[in-house]
Structure 1
Amino acid sequence: MTQQGVRWTADQVLALAPDAASRKAGSKLGAAGPWSEAGSADEGTVWGLCKGSGNKPYQTVIDIADASGPAYKCSCPSRKFPCKHALGLLLLWAGEDGTVPSAAEPPDWAEQWIKGRRQRAEEKRTAGASASSPASADPEAARRRAERRAVRVTAGATELEQRLTDLLRGGLAGAEQAGYGLWEETAARMVDAQAPGLAARVRELGAIPASGPGWPVRLLEECALLHLLDQGWLRREGLPGGLADTVRSRIGLPASADGPPVRDRWLVLAQYDTADVKLTTRRIWLHGADSGRTALLLSYGAAGRAPELTLPVGLALEAELTAYPGAGQLRAALGEQFAPPAPASIRPPGMTTAEATDRYGDALRDDPWLDSVPVTLDRVIPAPDGDSWQLADADADTALPLTPAARARPGLWRLVALSGGAPVKVFGECGHRGFTPLTAWPEGSGEAVRLC
């Protein structure tokens, strides 16, 4: 965005939409008709006036250079971020037809918001640096809080071990008759014990009985993993440091990014949201062009609201990432950003389907509770496999089945259409349930295509 000749694609803009309705409404506003006094500036801002149902047009301004992704301000009454007007303005800007010219100065109403936002961001950054300094911290108080929480978690883990013992002693068939209520009660006890990771896994256990053919096997597998996590916590003093950090993370204890900052040009591989009744979680996968590292950014929003951090797929940003502790953990925190996100021709290196399964197997040594690992498959072809689908290696007699969730998404047909029977490069998550494709690139040149 620092170079006005480089614009986003329409697909990258629409990836910012909080829901399908906003995507549709924003697309209708991506034409010049309702807009006036639109403009953009080299430092990464776009503004314009959009005619609405009233006499006064809506004032819309977007800061694309914000370190945590685009920031928006619109005088419309919508509570969605971005609203349809912001999406429409970005689509208009992405059109590269001169409708949104480069202007020397934004209007007063836009400039006031831009300056105020950046000043608050700088104050927040300065305050955060001050709060994290050793002089302002009370390590003794923090140690006492950690000890008290560890005692509660230990009590919860011990109680959960007894619950699992009772389940296995009585037989798995009894789990179907007991119903979900007992599991929810156990999960609530884990919340009281300040072990949200245990609570989440208990709720997953409660959903398995009577969930379809083979549920007793799945229940036994998940019970074994939960028992392993319990024992990992109860015997954490004897674990290697990295594995102990992983156990703490899986239990749900808070941790801070403490690794050395890695500056790189990070390609946005994928972004998708998952939601429950209380929280929306956004996962953003990044690939470092120079370091070759894959990193995961997590951000959260209240139920029904999109998280603030937004990085459209196919863009790259020059920034620092700091890793979180834990063996095999890929989560990182986004630090200082040196340039706003911009389109890039970077592609991650790929591997075969056999190498992908080997990578997942290796990762389980560091984190036995890992559902999947991020991998990029080179030269694979989507193909039907009976009632299911798989990604077949174009150069070897191997294939990866798609997960049930992937088979139910519209992105599968987008992938099939992109391939047309020819090999494609696909990024996704590979685990014990199969492969979930998230982004694809056609052979040769071509833009990234979102599949989720």
Structure 2
Amino acid sequence: MLRSNGGESPDRCDPAVRMPRWSADQVLLLAPDPASRAAGARLGASGPWSAAGADGSGAVWGLCKGGGRTPYRTVVDTIGPACRCSCPSRKFPCKHALGLLLLWAGDERAVPGGAAAPPWAEEWLGERRERAEKKEKEGEGDREDRGQPGAGRPGRPADPEAARRRAQRRAASIDAGAAELERRLADLLRGGLASAEQSGYGLWEETAARMVDAQAPGLAARVRELGSVPGSGPGWPARLLEECALTHLLDTAWLGVERLPEPLAATVRTRVGLAPAATGAPVRDHWLVLAQYDTSDGRLTTRRVWVHGRSSARTALLLSFGGGGRAPRLALPVGSVIEAELTPYPGGGRLRAELGERVGVPVPIDTPPPGGPVASALDAYGRALCDDPWLDSWPVTLTEVVPVPHGTGWQLADAAGGAALPIASSALSRPGLWRLAALSGGGPVTVFGECGHRGVTPLAAWSPDSPETVPLL
């Protein structure tokens, strides 16, 4: 929801309120698929557009000439973001919304700011504001009545006894799945790791399906990862043994979860696939949007958004999901600062958080997040592993580092000499590596990325000469 610091909705036509324009890279992050990205890029020129404008506080609109006599009406609320278009596309956002945002990002003359939205756009924007205000009022009522069972919530109150029985049944099902997976791992080690290559992927997929039946999607994901290791190239037996050990550790931790300290127990529940609720104390802060990228397993697209609190010095991960070829709904402009409330999830590290109320409009980052040398990043990653042994990576900000070639790869080395971190092999083929090298020019830069046991994956960088955030994805 759009609100000023005083708690009232800002006037969208107020020239004093200005939404910073996104970069083309930030717009294209919203594309649901490569085809939409290409189609949107073709519409990112002024040719097909007319009556385009922006009100400076998040709304962008325009008419796009199509194959018919009537142009498509496209309006985007970049706070959200959300869009509406009169075209028949079911994709979100459609190619017209992407093209309009690209035009807005790159051509201020074609999409002038400070304009008043036309009635057809204002009608939709007004509906969004009304829904947001209604939702906020309901939330305030819920907060006032918090602690009273069922108060502030529509419908019948939850039955705690029924919920307890459901939780018990699911826990018993996961117990059975974990025990079966332990037998599968024991058979693998008894027969030798070479048998994994001979049996192929089918047996692993069958085991993963049984973990899904056991309502343990986290275990299913680990099983599928085990199945992919034998075909991953030279050295796969060592990697398979390592992954088997971590899976065994997770199995045994689940089967004895009642004896674990609560933070570790919460981590184990999350890792086996029990989705927790965001129950931590909300943190209101100005959050620097550092990076955003998508991954897909063919069925589900996961969007990861990294933010850093300017006052709390807390780094948080926001997750959003999209199924059926749709892009996740959550999208924040990388390189901006948003004032918002985040509620952390339980578990080791407490990285993941839920985005709550947003206040005001984003502004550009004026300084990169604080960081340290390579040694500090490695210390932070090591401490995080103590809380979560199944952790793949940990967010780190490296200051005064230089990207330099090393052997067949690259590394980030302290400019003052000393330690260096290899850049993960998965990042070597991305164009962001060359963008980072060009930004550095042989000099020190600040880099934010994910540090894991195979190295660091750079996600964003800043040069000493400019506060502009350079995405590396």
Instruction: State the shift of 1:51 in Å.
Output: 1.6
Quote the Cα distance in structure 2 between the aligned partners of 1:24 and 1:161: 47
Pairing partner for 2:380 from 350, 359, 368: 359
Instruction: State the shift of 1:444 in Å.
Output: 2.5
Instruction: Assess if the C-alpha contact under 8 Å between 2:76 and 2:97 holds in 1.
Output: yes
Give the corresponding residue for 1:322: 343
Quote the Cα distance in structure 2 between the aligned partners of 1:314 and 1:360: 24
Letter aligned with residue 82 of structure 2 = A
Instruction: Assess if the C-alpha contact under 8 Å between 2:22 and 2:333 holds in 1.
Output: no
Quote the Cα distance in structure 2 between the aligned partners of 1:19 and 1:315: 24
Give the corresponding residue for 1:281: 302
Pairing partner for 1:41 from 46, 52, 55: 55
Instruction: Assess if the C-alpha contact under 8 Å between 2:401 and 2:414 holds in 1.
Output: yes
Letter aligned with residue 7 of structure 1 = R
Give the corresponding residue for 1:308: 329
Quote the Cα distance in structure 2 between the aligned partners of 1:28 and 1:163: 52
Give the corresponding residue for 1:100: 111
Instruction: State the shift of 1:309 in Å.
Output: 0.5
Give the corresponding residue for 1:423: 444
Tell me, yes or no, if structure 1 residue 380 matches structure 2 residue 395. Answer: no
Quote the Cα distance in structure 2 between the aligned partners of 1:164 and 1:21: 42
Instruction: Assess if the C-alpha contact under 8 Å between 1:7 and 1:342 holds in 2.
Output: no
Give the corresponding residue for 1:82: 93
Quote the Cα distance in structure 2 between the aligned partners of 1:203 and 1:192: 14
RMSD: 2.2
Instruction: Assess if the C-alpha contact under 8 Å between 1:40 and 1:101 holds in 2.
Output: yes
Instruction: State the shift of 1:314 in Å.
Output: 0.3
Instruction: Assess if the C-alpha contact under 8 Å between 2:52 and 2:110 holds in 1.
Output: yes
Give the corresponding residue for 1:134: 149
Instruction: State the shift of 1:428 in Å.
Output: 0.6
Q: TM-score, normalised by structure 1?
A: 0.93
Give the corresponding residue for 2:78: 64
Tell me, yes or no, if structure 1 residue 31 matches structure 2 residue 45. Answer: yes
Instruction: State the shift of 1:75 in Å.
Output: 1.3
Quote the Cα distance in structure 2 between the aligned partners of 1:116 and 1:23: 28
Instruction: State the shift of 1:354 in Å.
Output: 1.7
Instruction: State the shift of 1:184 in Å.
Output: 1.1
Give the corresponding residue for 2:462: 441
SS in 2 for 1:200: helix
Letter aligned with residue 293 of structure 2 = Y
1:23-71, CA deviations, whole angstroms, 9 ceiling, x for partnerless residues? 4443443333322222222543121111222211110101123xxx211
Give the corresponding residue for 2:127: 116
1:279-298, CA deviations, whole angstroms, 9 ceiling, x for partnerless residues? 00000000011111000000
Give the corresponding residue for 1:208: 229
The alignment-based identity, stated in percent, is 66
Instruction: State the shift of 1:318 in Å.
Output: 0.5
Instruction: State the shift of 1:423 in Å.
Output: 1.4
Letter aligned with residue 13 of structure 1 = V
Give the corresponding residue for 1:18: 32
Instruction: Assess if the C-alpha contact under 8 Å between 2:32 and 2:325 holds in 1.
Output: no
Quote the Cα distance in structure 2 between the aligned partners of 1:290 and 1:127: 29
Structure 1 window deviating more from structure 2 (165-174 vs 19-28): it is 19-28
SS in 1 for 2:229: coil
Quote the Cα distance in structure 2 between the aligned partners of 1:403 and 1:78: 38
Instruction: State the shift of 1:94 in Å.
Output: 3.2
Give the corresponding residue for 1:339: 360
Structure 1 window deviating more from structure 2 (150-159 vs 76-85): it is 76-85
1:262-295, CA deviations, whole angstroms, 9 ceiling, x for partnerless residues? 0011111110100012100000000011111000
Unpaired runs of 5+ residues, structure 1, are none
Aligned residues: 449
Q: 1:197 to 1:5 in 2, by over 3 A?
A: closer
Tell me, yes or no, if structure 1 residue 392 matches structure 2 residue 403. Answer: no
Instruction: Assess if the C-alpha contact under 8 Å between 2:368 and 2:446 holds in 1.
Output: no
Quote the Cα distance in structure 1 between the aligned partners of 2:27 and 2:206: 43
Quote the Cα distance in structure 1 between the aligned partners of 2:192 and 2:288: 49
Q: TM-score, normalised by structure 2?
A: 0.89
Unpaired runs of 5+ residues, structure 2, are 1-11, 151-156
Structure 1 window deviating more from structure 2 (291-300 vs 12-21): it is 12-21
Give the corresponding residue for 2:423: 402
Structure 1 window deviating more from structure 2 (106-115 vs 313-322): it is 106-115
Quote the Cα distance in structure 2 between the aligned partners of 1:141 and 1:434: 46
1:213-228 pair list within 5 angstroms: 213-228=234-249
